[in-house]
Amino acid sequence: MNVSDSERVATSLAGKGYEITRDEKAADVVLINTCSVREKAEQKLYSRVGRIRHSDGPKPVVGVLGCVAQLEGETLFKKIEGIDFVLGTKAVGRISQAIEHSLENGAGYSDLGEREPDYDWNVADAQRHSPYVAFVPIIEGCNKFCTYCIVPFSRGREVSLTASTIIRNVLELRRQGVKEIHLIGQNVNSYRPLSDAGLEGFAGATPFAKLLRAVAGTGIERIKFNTSFPRDFHPDIVDAIEENENLCNWVHLPVQSGSDKVLRAMRRGHTIQSYFKKIDRLKSSTRDISLSTDIIVGFPGETDSDFLDSVKMVEYCGFDSAYIFKYSPRPGTPAYEMNDDIAPETKAERFLALESVFRKRQTEVLQRYRSSTLQVLAEKSSAKSATDLTGHSTCHKVVNFKGSKELLGNVVNVSIFDIKSNSLFGELC
Ligand code: SAM
Ligand code: SF4
């Protein structure tokens, strides 16, 4: 979501004649887009602004965007010296006003206001992280209020874009030569537009399942979606994947814990059995769907036995990949008021133990790709070798293979001969 936000900010500025550079030292204005999901992410802002302030040469205008900006607002000026303006998560459409105001009047400008009704969600070709892959926001904000999470406070309530807007965006991306789109949002499967515009005539048990079929109907080559909320993950989503080859075989379904007691305290809205039921449906699919997840260890009150439930859950599910986090208390969330009773050493031990169980299980489940042929979008030359290309498979694995640059932007068949935890290696068929 943050990458997508940054791409839209760059698009808006480039459209107004600003030149975009990644070279901090060459910039007249430095924009820092922030995340506040964990404390560590927030601390990066402090060190980044400090580095700019203490660097040699003329000082650029420094603007802070994103979740930390939204949550802290003007208090950031007092907390961190060297910030000129603060722009909240929904105010990014007014980035040029913020810069112009700061250039004319100096530091102290803040805008935490609402999104404009005609906000442009499109990203210019030149500002996309890849010429072949594009992010398409379909829902912003979150209504779930999991007790540990700051997102509903930093991003506000769920608002779904209309299907007609989304489909128009996808058709335009297809026209521009984009091969793969990612429908994105905190919880894509909670998608609920105010009207049915664009979904008429499409089957589906939920608006998201209808949207998937409608987007598949645009004929764009590959469609991925991220993130799915377990409680709202309807089996009809799997049916839609089975019916449409261009809906990719990858689902990211964050479980957070294997213990029902912890899931209740997190207010996730699912039990571990209901989660397993969804995993079973995904695993029994006619498509080989790869599964990924997020897990938190060391949530307040997590006992050894609760942790063991997370270990068992990881063993049962056999994820292709998993992001494991140590619980990080976020001020303003309900969990922040709970007793953070798990010692940092215990959190670290559980993190390492769970990672090791996950890696062992992952080594087993990834073996199914050995000698298989995957369809890979050749996205860029490999950083390690000029004769190698790298890209993602339909099941969202990074795949490296030998190939010439002429293949970039094409979907090619790659036969897999080596498997590492974060990437696969193969040769062109
Ligand atoms: N909406 C998604 C969902 O429901 O799972 C996840 C969005 S959240 C930005 C990404 C991940 O960050 C979460 O799945 C969770 O594992 C992790 N996370 C969120 N708050 C956290 C916290 N306070 N401490 C540690 N990890 C956290
Ligand atoms: Fe955070 Fe829960 Fe919303 Fe995901 S569903 S963004 S974890 S509050």
Residue found by looking up tokens 């999901």 in the block = 37
Q: What pLDDT digit, counting tens, does each position of 108-136 carry?
A: 999 999 999 999 999 999 999 999 999 99
Residues 6+ apart with CB under 8 A from 113: 88, 90, 91, 94
Q: CA distances (Å), 313 to each of 256, 277, 364, in order?
A: 10, 12, 15
Residue found by looking up tokens 């299980």 in the block = 361
Which ligand 1 atom sits closest to the C-alpha of 254? 5
Examine residue 373 and say whether the peptide bond preceding it is cis (omega within 30 degrees of 0).
Answer: no
**Residue closest to 90 by CA, chosen among 137, 133, 144:** 137
Left if phi > 0, otherwise alpha if psi is -120 to 50, otherwise beta: which for 132?
Answer: alpha
Is the CB of residue 224 below 6 angstroms from any atom belonging to ligand 1? no
Which ligand 2 atom sits closest to the C-alpha of 145? 8
Which ligand 2 atom sits closest to the C-alpha of 142? 3
Q: Which residues pair with 180 in a beta bridge?
A: 133, 222
Confidence band for 58, pLDDT divided at 50, 70 and 90: confident
What sign results for the dihedral spanned by CA atoms 202, 203, 207, 212? negative
pTM above 0.85, yes or no: yes
Nearest CA to ligand 2 atom 2: 146
DSSP string, 105-169: H-S-EEE--PPPTT------GGGSS-SSEEEEE-EES-----TT--HHHHH-S-EEPPHHHHHHH
Cβ proximity of 150 and 36 under 8 Å: yes
Nearest-ligand number for the alpha carbon of 335: 1
Nearest-ligand number for the alpha carbon of 256: 1
Q: What pLDDT was estimated at residue 54?
A: 87
Q: What pLDDT was estimated at residue 17?
A: 96
Q: Ligand 1 centroid to 37 CA: how many Å?
A: 7
Q: Which residues pair with 140 in a beta bridge?
A: 159
Q: Which helix (H) or strand (E) holds 189?
A: none
Q: What pLDDT was estimated at residue 427?
A: 97
Whether 46 shows a pLDDT value over 90: the answer reads no
Whether 184 shows a pLDDT value over 80: the answer reads yes
Q: Which residues pair with 411 in a beta bridge?
A: 377
Is the CB of residue 411 below 6 angstroms from any atom belonging to ligand 1? no
Whether 420 shows a pLDDT value over 80: the answer reads yes
Distance CA(307)–CA(135), nearest Å, equals 35
Q: What pLDDT was estimated at residue 309?
A: 98
Q: What pLDDT was estimated at residue 386?
A: 83
